Structure 1
Amino acid sequence: MNPVKNRAYITILLHLLVWMLFAFILLFYQPLSWNVQLPYQFWFKQSGVLIMLVTVFYVNSNILVPQLLMKNNNLGFILVILAIIIAVGPLVNMLDDSLHLPELMDKAFSASGVLRPFRKKDRLDIFQIMMTLMIVGISTSVTLIQKWQADKQQREALEKERIGSELSFLKAQINPHFFFNTLNNIYALTHVDVENSRRALHKLSRMMRYLLYDTQAGITPLSKEVSFIVDYLELMKLRLNDTTKVSFEGPLVSQDINIAPMLFLPYIENAFKHGVSAVEPSVIRIELSLEDKVLELKVINTIFNENAEIVDSYGGIGLTNTKRRLDLLYPGKHTFSAMKVEERNEFVVHLTLVIDDPELYSR
């Protein structure tokens, strides 16, 4: 069944139960203690009072609170509520007089030999006033809570839509950035090694298939992301000489988890950008581990470009967008650091993600 319809049915049921409780109080609570054969006009009058309370509830809920209180016209709201409370007493007295209820009640009590509870006609009906105040309070509270919940749901929906749009935009920026660099590498390779360039195109096509079909849901199994990284590293190795050593240590995944795709690639890309030299020995080491729902990535590379010291400029648009995606997808559940280790002349990127959502674990 539709959740919206479910909530509507539950709301209607709650309203009915509350009004049944008020009906019991008005129609039966006092008569049960009187032991008197009451005239039907009494029940008619009490039913009229119940209808009056129902009217006050829904007029306040649908008109007064939205039109006055929610528009910051507090004084007007208070004055209207006071007017309603003041008018309740005369309206009830008019109903009593029109039904000749005081005389009929006196006769009923006299016939039963029961002493009738004394109340002067011009005396304020405190019970009726308190009932009206209670109805106004409940109506105002329920309406304000419903408005707060509706506003919250609207804010969450707008925020979800904004985040979705922003993530799509950021992902669209990251992917062309990656393919631009990779195609440049393959183009250069075609001039020196046709066979290897064919292998590179095959790996690239497999990677494109992954991006087109396996990442559209916004999440991907960690095992597939690891395979994507392996393909990327193999692709990059085709253009490297023996002076560069590339190593990758992946996690032993006993229970696969889902993560946002393409989170790690910009850091690995930048390791190749800043950590490769045509003549000097260089090392690129990628370590990815998963332990106790904490996914940890380390990317270590030798430095040949002094600009790598500045983290914000390290990687350009790819790294900037990835950091933004982390803020959107894993708020408060990730840590990131990037620093130069002077004694080893290395640059180290360290990222941790806390994967504590049970829905992210594949069945």
Structure 2
Amino acid sequence: MKTTYKKWVVALLHIAVWALLFSLPFLLRSYEDHRPPQRGGGHSNPSLHYFINNLYWIGFFYLNAQVLIPRLVYKRKFWLYGIVLCSIFCLWLVLGWLTFLLLRNPDSFHWQTHILFTFFIFLFFFACSTAYRTFRDKIISDQVAQERENENLKTELTLLRSQVSPHFMFNVLNNMVALARKKSDLLEPSLIKLSSLMRYMLYESDEEKVYLEREIEYLQSYIDLQQQRFGNNVKVNVSMDIADNYYQIEPMLLIPFVENAFKHGTGLIDDAIINIQLKAEEGLLRFSVGNKYVESADEVKDKTSGIGLPNVQRRLNLLYGNNHRLFITKENNWFEVKLEIKMTNE
């Protein structure tokens, strides 16, 4: 329906442009013929002559734009294109002469004037049809390129998002193994939380955006599972506050920062500390994650890393562009990530 509608709009637009162009002589002056009648008692018909000539030029316009340029110019058959144009020009000279003889006073016809007039009009419509075809193809080319870019971005975002899930599942399953080995009573509630997390990952993460509240619940469940795993070996300080429950965000956008903190802020670290803060108000999301780290232990872990922060940085650039700011600092055995995003409401 949309395609048909657009075709009708384009057709009507073309008709309107032609009608305006060829009605200009009538709008600017009175188009009357005061010449004497033709021999034999007939009368000239300048209006019909003008109308038929216009049909010739309209035909040439679309012939050049729709047939000659795509079939000859785009295929680099320039010599053939030049020959065809010369042939059309000669044909138009003959047609114009015949039309004049039939509808105007033959005694007033002059070949020199006819050739010059036809030549300049021919150049005008040749230039217009060439410009029209070039401009039209440029618009179509830009639209196709934009569609391809959008599809590539969607594909890339899907790949970046899918890279987060296996990494997260790997960490959570390790938590489950640790709890099973300890025969902990926390295994059952942990499995329930894992089930909730998987439901979020499988169903809600396919949405373009989710409510920030759901993303926070997802983060909190992940943090709870990690705290169950590490117990008192890691001190986790969490503060999450949203002033508006209708803020939306791309799913699983924040979890890589938290994963990274637990990955590099635990293990061979004395008095391990992880600070997680999230606040959303007045259309701005502020999210920060910081953790202590040991350089030697971090180097060992990086050998098996390869998913995480680089992916989320790329994803942020694709999704938010200049509407976000990401700061990463690493000094005095403290690693901190600060993220600011301009949020939108439903």
Whether these two folds match at TM > 0.5 is yes
| Match of residue 7 from structure 1 | 6
Deviation at 1:41, TM superposition (A): 3.9
1:307·1:313 contact (CA, 8 Å) conserved in 2?
Answer: no
Cα distance, 1:129–1:191 mapped onto 2, change above 3 Å: same
Distance in 2 separating the partners of 1:150 and 1:66: 14
Deviation at 1:300, TM superposition (A): 0.4
Once the two structures are superposed, residues 51-86 of structure 1 have per-residue CA deviations (whole angstroms, 9 ceiling, x without a partner) of: 101110110111122233434556765665465446
| 1:252 aligned onto 2:242 | yes
| 1:223 aligned onto 2:226 | no
SS at match of 1:206: helix
Distance in 2 separating the partners of 1:310 and 1:60: 68
| Match of residue 105 from structure 2 | 102
Give structure 2 stretches of 5+ with no counterpart: 38-42
Over the matched positions of the two proteins, sequence identity in percent amounts to 27
Distance in 2 separating the partners of 1:71 and 1:218: 43
SS at match of 1:351: strand
Distance in 2 separating the partners of 1:318 and 1:196: 28
Distance in 1 separating the partners of 2:300 and 2:341: 23
| Letter aligned with residue 62 of structure 1 | Q
Deviation at 1:125, TM superposition (A): 6.0
Cα distance, 1:161–1:279 mapped onto 2, change above 3 Å: closer
Distance in 2 separating the partners of 1:73 and 1:246: 73
1:295·1:353 contact (CA, 8 Å) conserved in 2?
Answer: yes
Deviation at 1:283, TM superposition (A): 1.0
Question: Which of 125, 142, 163 is residue 132 of structure 2 equivalent to?
Answer: 142
1:167·1:325 contact (CA, 8 Å) conserved in 2?
Answer: yes
Distance in 1 separating the partners of 2:252 and 2:340: 15
Cα distance, 1:210–1:34 mapped onto 2, change above 3 Å: same
2:207·2:251 contact (CA, 8 Å) conserved in 1?
Answer: no
| 1:184 aligned onto 2:174 | yes
Instruction: Compute the TM-score of the two structures, normalised by the length of structure 2.
Output: 0.84
Deviation at 1:182, TM superposition (A): 0.3
Deviation at 1:219, TM superposition (A): 1.8
The alignment's C-alpha RMSD in Å is 3.2
| Letter aligned with residue 93 of structure 1 | W
Question: Which of 60, 63, 83 is residue 59 of structure 1 equivalent to?
Answer: 63
Distance in 2 separating the partners of 1:143 and 1:23: 21
Distance in 2 separating the partners of 1:42 and 1:250: 83
| 1:329 aligned onto 2:319 | yes
Once the two structures are superposed, residues 109-135 of structure 1 have per-residue CA deviations (whole angstroms, 9 ceiling, x without a partner) of: xxxxxxxxx874532465554443333
| 1:42 aligned onto 2:46 | yes
SS at match of 1:290: strand
Deviation at 1:306, TM superposition (A): 3.1
Structure 1 segment 82-161 matched on structure 2, within 5 A? 84-85=88-89, 87-97=91-101, 99=102, 101-103=104-106, 120-124=110-114, 128-161=118-151
Q: May I ask how many residue pairs the two structures share in their alignment?
A: 341
Once the two structures are superposed, residues 163-213 of structure 1 have per-residue CA deviations (whole angstroms, 9 ceiling, x without a partner) of: 222222232221121111101111111232532111111111111111222
Instruction: Compute the TM-score of the two structures, normalised by the length of structure 1.
Output: 0.81
| Match of residue 20 from structure 1 | 19
